[in-house]
Amino acid sequence: MGTLSVNQNKLQKRLRRQAGEAIADFNMIEDGDKVMVCLSGGKDSYTMLDVLLYLQKVAPIKFEIVAVNMDQKQPGFPEHVLPAYLESIGVPYHIIEKDTYSVVKEKIPEGKTTCSLCSRLRRGTLYTYADEIGATKMALGHHRDDILETFFLNMFYGGTLKAMPPKLLSDDGRNVVIRPLAYCSEKDIEAYSQLKEFPIIPCNLCGSQENLQRQVVKEMLLDWERKSPGRTEIMFRALQNVVPSQLADRDLFDFTSLRIDDNATPRFLDVMSL
Protein backbone atom coordinates (compact mmCIF):
# COMPACT_ATOMS: atom_id res chain seq x y z
CA MET A 1 0.00 0.00 0.00
CA GLY A 2 2.98 2.29 0.43
CA THR A 3 3.48 5.13 2.89
CA LEU A 4 0.33 6.66 4.33
CA SER A 5 -0.35 10.37 4.02
CA VAL A 6 -1.05 12.40 7.16
CA ASN A 7 -4.82 12.17 6.66
CA GLN A 8 -4.68 8.47 5.85
CA ASN A 9 -2.64 7.82 8.97
CA LYS A 10 -5.16 9.79 11.03
CA LEU A 11 -7.99 7.75 9.54
CA GLN A 12 -6.30 4.46 10.40
CA LYS A 13 -5.49 5.60 13.93
CA ARG A 14 -9.04 6.87 14.46
CA LEU A 15 -10.63 3.58 13.44
CA ARG A 16 -8.23 1.59 15.59
CA ARG A 17 -8.78 3.88 18.57
CA GLN A 18 -12.57 3.86 18.26
CA ALA A 19 -12.70 0.09 17.92
CA GLY A 20 -10.37 -0.29 20.90
CA GLU A 21 -12.57 2.02 22.98
CA ALA A 22 -15.74 0.11 22.07
CA ILE A 23 -14.08 -3.22 22.91
CA ALA A 24 -12.91 -1.86 26.28
CA ASP A 25 -16.18 -0.08 27.15
CA PHE A 26 -18.26 -3.21 26.63
CA ASN A 27 -15.64 -5.81 27.58
CA MET A 28 -16.10 -7.39 24.16
CA ILE A 29 -12.91 -9.46 24.10
CA GLU A 30 -11.33 -11.19 27.08
CA ASP A 31 -8.12 -13.09 27.61
CA GLY A 32 -8.25 -16.50 25.94
CA ASP A 33 -11.23 -15.69 23.70
CA LYS A 34 -11.66 -17.35 20.32
CA VAL A 35 -13.20 -14.63 18.15
CA MET A 36 -15.09 -15.76 15.07
CA VAL A 37 -14.93 -12.83 12.64
CA CYS A 38 -17.87 -13.04 10.25
CA LEU A 39 -16.54 -11.96 6.88
CA SER A 40 -19.08 -11.16 4.18
CA GLY A 41 -16.73 -9.66 1.61
CA GLY A 42 -18.06 -6.14 2.18
CA LYS A 43 -16.18 -3.05 3.33
CA ASP A 44 -17.37 -3.30 6.93
CA SER A 45 -16.26 -6.84 7.68
CA TYR A 46 -12.92 -6.37 5.88
CA THR A 47 -12.25 -3.27 7.98
CA MET A 48 -13.27 -5.06 11.17
CA LEU A 49 -10.89 -7.95 10.47
CA ASP A 50 -8.06 -5.56 9.63
CA VAL A 51 -8.54 -3.57 12.85
CA LEU A 52 -8.91 -6.68 15.03
CA LEU A 53 -5.68 -8.13 13.61
CA TYR A 54 -3.87 -4.94 14.61
CA LEU A 55 -5.41 -4.92 18.09
CA GLN A 56 -4.50 -8.58 18.50
CA LYS A 57 -0.84 -7.60 18.13
CA VAL A 58 -0.88 -4.71 20.61
CA ALA A 59 -3.49 -5.78 23.17
CA PRO A 60 -2.34 -6.74 26.69
CA ILE A 61 -4.41 -9.93 26.41
CA LYS A 62 -4.18 -12.94 24.14
CA PHE A 63 -7.07 -13.91 21.89
CA GLU A 64 -7.51 -16.02 18.78
CA ILE A 65 -9.02 -14.85 15.49
CA VAL A 66 -10.65 -17.12 12.94
CA ALA A 67 -12.46 -15.74 9.88
CA VAL A 68 -15.68 -17.36 8.71
CA ASN A 69 -17.55 -16.70 5.48
CA MET A 70 -20.90 -18.12 4.51
CA ASP A 71 -21.20 -19.00 0.85
CA GLN A 72 -24.96 -18.66 0.25
CA LYS A 73 -24.68 -20.00 -3.30
CA GLN A 74 -25.66 -16.79 -5.00
CA PRO A 75 -25.22 -17.09 -8.78
CA GLY A 76 -21.92 -15.62 -9.87
CA PHE A 77 -20.48 -15.44 -6.35
CA PRO A 78 -16.66 -15.34 -6.74
CA GLU A 79 -15.77 -18.19 -4.38
CA HIS A 80 -12.02 -17.73 -4.81
CA VAL A 81 -11.78 -14.10 -3.62
CA LEU A 82 -12.04 -14.50 0.15
CA PRO A 83 -9.88 -17.63 0.48
CA ALA A 84 -7.17 -15.98 -1.64
CA TYR A 85 -7.26 -12.81 0.47
CA LEU A 86 -7.24 -14.62 3.81
CA GLU A 87 -4.39 -16.90 2.75
CA SER A 88 -2.40 -13.88 1.58
CA ILE A 89 -2.59 -12.30 5.06
CA GLY A 90 -2.20 -15.58 6.93
CA VAL A 91 -5.55 -15.67 8.72
CA PRO A 92 -7.13 -19.06 9.50
CA TYR A 93 -10.59 -19.34 8.00
CA HIS A 94 -13.60 -21.53 7.31
CA ILE A 95 -16.06 -21.32 4.43
CA ILE A 96 -19.61 -22.50 5.23
CA GLU A 97 -21.47 -23.61 2.14
CA LYS A 98 -25.24 -23.40 2.54
CA ASP A 99 -27.74 -22.67 -0.21
CA THR A 100 -29.89 -20.08 1.53
CA TYR A 101 -30.16 -18.21 -1.76
CA SER A 102 -32.61 -20.79 -3.14
CA VAL A 103 -34.65 -20.70 0.06
CA VAL A 104 -34.94 -16.92 -0.07
CA LYS A 105 -35.88 -16.89 -3.77
CA GLU A 106 -38.49 -19.59 -3.14
CA LYS A 107 -40.08 -17.93 -0.10
CA ILE A 108 -39.96 -14.24 -1.07
CA PRO A 109 -42.13 -13.07 -4.01
CA GLU A 110 -40.35 -11.30 -6.86
CA GLY A 111 -39.84 -7.63 -6.10
CA LYS A 112 -40.22 -7.98 -2.33
CA THR A 113 -37.41 -7.28 0.12
CA THR A 114 -35.25 -10.34 0.78
CA CYS A 115 -32.99 -8.85 3.47
CA SER A 116 -34.98 -9.93 6.53
CA LEU A 117 -35.24 -13.65 5.68
CA CYS A 118 -31.70 -13.75 4.27
CA SER A 119 -30.35 -12.21 7.47
CA ARG A 120 -32.22 -14.65 9.73
CA LEU A 121 -31.01 -17.69 7.79
CA ARG A 122 -27.44 -16.44 7.75
CA ARG A 123 -27.45 -15.53 11.43
CA GLY A 124 -28.85 -18.90 12.50
CA THR A 125 -26.22 -20.75 10.50
CA LEU A 126 -23.39 -18.63 11.89
CA TYR A 127 -24.62 -19.03 15.48
CA THR A 128 -24.60 -22.79 15.08
CA TYR A 129 -21.17 -22.82 13.46
CA ALA A 130 -19.67 -20.61 16.18
CA ASP A 131 -20.85 -23.17 18.71
CA GLU A 132 -19.36 -26.02 16.67
CA ILE A 133 -15.87 -24.51 16.48
CA GLY A 134 -15.84 -23.35 20.10
CA ALA A 135 -15.88 -19.62 19.36
CA THR A 136 -16.48 -17.63 22.54
CA LYS A 137 -17.29 -14.42 20.68
CA MET A 138 -18.86 -13.79 17.28
CA ALA A 139 -17.78 -10.48 15.70
CA LEU A 140 -20.09 -8.67 13.26
CA GLY A 141 -19.14 -5.63 11.19
CA HIS A 142 -22.03 -3.31 12.05
CA HIS A 143 -20.95 0.29 12.58
CA ARG A 144 -22.38 3.41 14.22
CA ASP A 145 -24.57 4.30 11.24
CA ASP A 146 -26.02 0.78 11.10
CA ILE A 147 -26.94 1.02 14.77
CA LEU A 148 -28.65 4.40 14.35
CA GLU A 149 -30.50 3.28 11.22
CA THR A 150 -31.79 0.23 13.09
CA PHE A 151 -32.94 2.45 15.96
CA PHE A 152 -35.03 4.64 13.66
CA LEU A 153 -36.33 1.65 11.68
CA ASN A 154 -37.59 0.06 14.89
CA MET A 155 -39.12 3.33 16.06
CA PHE A 156 -40.77 4.26 12.75
CA TYR A 157 -41.90 0.83 11.61
CA GLY A 158 -41.77 -1.45 14.67
CA GLY A 159 -43.02 0.76 17.48
CA THR A 160 -40.05 -0.06 19.73
CA LEU A 161 -37.05 1.85 21.03
CA LYS A 162 -34.21 -0.55 20.31
CA ALA A 163 -31.17 -0.75 18.08
CA MET A 164 -28.16 -3.08 17.68
CA PRO A 165 -26.27 -3.32 20.98
CA PRO A 166 -22.48 -3.35 20.78
CA LYS A 167 -22.57 -6.62 22.72
CA LEU A 168 -25.40 -9.15 22.74
CA LEU A 169 -26.16 -12.51 24.30
CA SER A 170 -28.16 -14.71 21.93
CA ASP A 171 -31.65 -15.80 23.01
CA ASP A 172 -30.50 -19.33 23.82
CA GLY A 173 -27.49 -18.05 25.75
CA ARG A 174 -24.97 -19.95 23.65
CA ASN A 175 -23.42 -17.07 21.68
CA VAL A 176 -22.03 -13.66 22.55
CA VAL A 177 -22.18 -11.29 19.58
CA ILE A 178 -19.84 -8.29 19.50
CA ARG A 179 -19.71 -5.27 17.21
CA PRO A 180 -16.19 -3.80 17.46
CA LEU A 181 -16.99 -1.04 14.91
CA ALA A 182 -19.90 0.31 17.00
CA TYR A 183 -18.16 3.68 17.47
CA CYS A 184 -16.93 3.95 13.85
CA SER A 185 -18.66 5.91 11.09
CA GLU A 186 -19.54 4.41 7.75
CA LYS A 187 -17.81 7.33 6.03
CA ASP A 188 -14.49 6.45 7.68
CA ILE A 189 -14.94 2.75 6.94
CA GLU A 190 -15.66 3.48 3.28
CA ALA A 191 -12.54 5.65 3.02
CA TYR A 192 -10.40 3.05 4.78
CA SER A 193 -11.71 0.27 2.58
CA GLN A 194 -10.72 2.23 -0.52
CA LEU A 195 -7.34 3.03 1.00
CA LYS A 196 -6.60 -0.61 1.75
CA GLU A 197 -8.03 -1.77 -1.59
CA PHE A 198 -9.96 -4.64 -0.05
CA PRO A 199 -11.33 -7.09 -2.66
CA ILE A 200 -14.99 -6.14 -2.18
CA ILE A 201 -17.64 -8.70 -3.14
CA PRO A 202 -21.03 -7.06 -3.92
CA CYS A 203 -24.25 -8.67 -2.69
CA ASN A 204 -26.30 -9.48 -5.80
CA LEU A 205 -29.19 -10.90 -3.80
CA CYS A 206 -30.32 -7.85 -1.84
CA GLY A 207 -27.75 -5.10 -2.29
CA SER A 208 -29.29 -3.86 -5.53
CA GLN A 209 -32.84 -3.61 -4.23
CA GLU A 210 -34.17 -0.07 -4.29
CA ASN A 211 -36.54 1.80 -1.98
CA LEU A 212 -35.78 -0.36 1.03
CA GLN A 213 -36.93 1.10 4.34
CA ARG A 214 -33.34 1.09 5.57
CA GLN A 215 -32.22 3.07 2.54
CA VAL A 216 -34.90 5.67 3.23
CA VAL A 217 -33.72 6.01 6.83
CA LYS A 218 -30.09 6.15 5.68
CA GLU A 219 -30.86 9.05 3.34
CA MET A 220 -32.73 10.83 6.13
CA LEU A 221 -29.74 10.56 8.48
CA LEU A 222 -27.31 11.65 5.76
CA ASP A 223 -29.47 14.68 5.04
CA TRP A 224 -29.55 15.59 8.74
CA GLU A 225 -25.78 15.25 8.92
CA ARG A 226 -25.30 17.45 5.85
CA LYS A 227 -27.53 20.17 7.34
CA SER A 228 -26.15 19.85 10.89
CA PRO A 229 -22.65 18.29 10.92
CA GLY A 230 -22.09 16.26 14.08
CA ARG A 231 -25.76 15.36 14.57
CA THR A 232 -25.10 11.64 13.94
CA GLU A 233 -22.56 11.52 16.75
CA ILE A 234 -24.96 13.33 19.10
CA MET A 235 -27.76 10.90 18.30
CA PHE A 236 -25.49 7.94 18.93
CA ARG A 237 -24.50 9.42 22.30
CA ALA A 238 -28.21 9.60 23.10
CA LEU A 239 -28.38 5.81 22.86
CA GLN A 240 -25.80 5.71 25.67
CA ASN A 241 -27.68 8.21 27.85
CA VAL A 242 -31.13 6.72 28.37
CA VAL A 243 -33.33 8.26 31.10
CA PRO A 244 -36.11 5.71 31.81
CA SER A 245 -38.11 8.10 34.02
CA GLN A 246 -38.52 10.46 31.05
CA LEU A 247 -39.99 7.83 28.72
CA ALA A 248 -43.20 5.81 29.11
CA ASP A 249 -42.19 2.18 29.53
CA ARG A 250 -43.93 0.94 32.69
CA ASP A 251 -41.72 -2.15 32.81
CA LEU A 252 -38.59 -0.03 32.74
CA PHE A 253 -39.64 2.51 35.36
CA ASP A 254 -42.10 2.27 38.26
CA PHE A 255 -44.47 5.14 37.47
CA THR A 256 -47.33 3.73 39.55
CA SER A 257 -45.42 4.18 42.83
CA LEU A 258 -44.59 7.86 42.31
CA ARG A 259 -45.88 9.94 45.24
CA ILE A 260 -45.24 13.35 46.70
CA ASP A 261 -42.37 13.30 49.20
CA ASP A 262 -43.71 14.99 52.30
CA ASN A 263 -40.16 15.36 53.65
CA ALA A 264 -38.83 17.18 50.60
CA THR A 265 -37.37 20.66 51.07
CA PRO A 266 -39.91 23.37 50.16
CA ARG A 267 -39.20 24.89 46.77
CA PHE A 268 -40.33 28.44 47.63
CA LEU A 269 -39.59 30.80 50.51
CA ASP A 270 -42.32 31.64 52.99
CA VAL A 271 -42.56 35.35 52.16
CA MET A 272 -44.98 36.01 55.05
CA SER A 273 -42.22 35.22 57.57
CA LEU A 274 -39.71 37.66 56.08
User: Other CB atoms closer than 10 Å to residue 15's CB: what's the count?
Assistant: 25
CA of 208: how far to CAs of 114, 117, 187, 203, 215, in Å? 11, 16, 20, 8, 11
* CB half-sphere exposure, 240, CA atoms < 13 A: 13
Annotated binding residue 203:
no
67 contacts 37 by C-beta, under 8 angstroms: yes
The bridge status of strand 137-139 relative to strand 93-97 is unpaired
How far apart are the C-alpha atoms of 193 and 89, rounded to whole Å? 16
Annotated binding residue 115:
yes
Annotated binding residue 118:
yes
The bridge status of strand 34-38 relative to strand 137-139 is parallel
Annotated binding site for [4Fe-4S] cluster: 115, 118, 206
Annotated binding site: 115, 118, 206
